[in-house]
Amino acid sequence: MDDFSRLRSRGQGHLEVGPPGGGTYPCLTLAFRAGHAVVHLFTDEETVSLLVGDGTVPWGETVEVPVLDELAIFTGYFVMGADHAWDVVQSFVRTGSFTELGEWVEL
């Protein structure tokens, strides 16, 4: 929570969150800038999915959020509000489950 708060105060950031109790997978990443966020799911070393957005941004529009050290462009289809994305991450941390978080699209 402290990392998210610190990055949020800067206006953007990228967090990686592993499963509760340790281990490597599944892992979520939260990338956000201003009020927009994108959530990635890594179920194993080779499989990555994006969580479908919440309609915060029209599906045909794009936003940039930091992924690792670069800005990446995502369509509104995968963008959600930063607060909503943080709620998703917290739910994952509490339960260890990603299946109830929303619709995932494998890349």
- The set of residues, in sequence order, having a beta carbon less than 8 Å from that of 96 and lying 6+ positions away, is 19, 20, 21
Cβ-contact 105, 40 below 8 angstroms: no
The reported pTM is 0.91
Model confidence pLDDT, tens digit, residues 45-81:
999 999 999 999 999 999 999 998 899 999 999 999 9
Confidence of residue 1 (pLDDT cuts 50, 70, 90): low
Residue with tokens 């969150």: 17
Model confidence pLDDT, tens digit, residues 18-35:
887 778 899 999 999 999
Q: What is the C-alpha to C-alpha distance for residues 42 and 11, in angstroms, rounded to an integer?
A: 25
Q: Residue 78 phi/psi, 5° resolution?
A: -110, 10
The pLDDT assigned to 49 comes to: 98
Cβ-contact 41, 89 below 8 angstroms: no
Buried b (16+ CB within 10 A) or exposed e, 76-102: bbbbbbbebbbebbeebeeeeebeebe
